Structure 1
Amino acid sequence: MSTYAIIDTGGEQLRVEPGRFYDVRYFASLKSKILAPNTNILIYRVLLICNKSTLSLGHPWLENAIVKGRILHLSFRNRITIYKMHSKKKTRRKLGYRQDLIRFVVDSICLDGKEL
């Protein structure tokens, strides 16, 4: 087994591994001016860390556990079209929506000050 962690970010839980990139909705604690490419980020909301055969489980989060990463770029999810029509009333309503995303890469997973 490899090393991975489960984090809580953007209202969802993600399984992250070092060296891979992920798309998340937003980082609520960061302002839009700070979200530039190559910005280092630290995620403290770590729910679980698995290192080979060792499993560390938090209640609800692990203390002294950090996932370190950096922002690659900002992007958008595909456009969602919402179309409402009432045929007998002659009303039509078309809305579109694009979710802001942040692509970040996980550099390392740390537990108790040691990189795993």
Structure 2
Amino acid sequence: MAHAIIEIAGQQIRVEPSRFYDVNRLVGDVDSQLEIDRVLYVNNAGEVSIGAPVVEGATVQATILRHMRGRKVLVYKMKPKKKTRKKRGHRQELTRIMIDSITVGGTAIDTKDQPRG
């Protein structure tokens, strides 16, 4: 299975074509195309390319599907014997992206021929 490790929105994510991922909020409209050139690692059916720090000539094409907010995380602080309690909630701003293709050296990696597993 072809996959790559990219750096986007302050995170490093392992991505595969035709899958969607949630990353920190990106600037861009829904259904707009992204070209990610911070590709750190590419594996194409056993042919591995490791960057130092990035793989030269490798890009990942993605589409912004939607902007959303993540699950609520509750932060509860309490000091015993002081009657001090604070309860705060946080929802992270996220963007869902669909990975369209991984390109290495000008040729797109095709995943339809490769066995999954």
User: What's the TM-score once normalised by structure 2's chain length?
Assistant: 0.86
Match of 1:72 among 41, 44, 65: 65
* Aligned residue pair count: 109
How far apart, CA to CA, are the structure 2 residues paired with 1:57 and 1:90? Answer: 55
- Residue aligned with 1:77, SS: strand
- For 1:9, the equivalent position in structure 2 comes to 8
- For 2:113, the equivalent position in structure 1 comes to none
Q: Deviation string for 1:51-106 (max 9, x for gaps)?
A: 11211110011111100010000111110111112232222111111111110000
Taking every aligned residue pair, what percent have the same amino acid on both sides? 41
How far apart, CA to CA, are the structure 2 residues paired with 1:87 and 1:5? Answer: 48
- For 2:35, the equivalent position in structure 1 comes to 42
Moved over 3 A (4+): none
- Residue aligned with 2:87, SS: strand
How far apart, CA to CA, are the structure 2 residues paired with 1:26 and 1:57? Answer: 27
Structure 2's unaligned 5+ residue stretches are 110-117
Higher strand share: 2
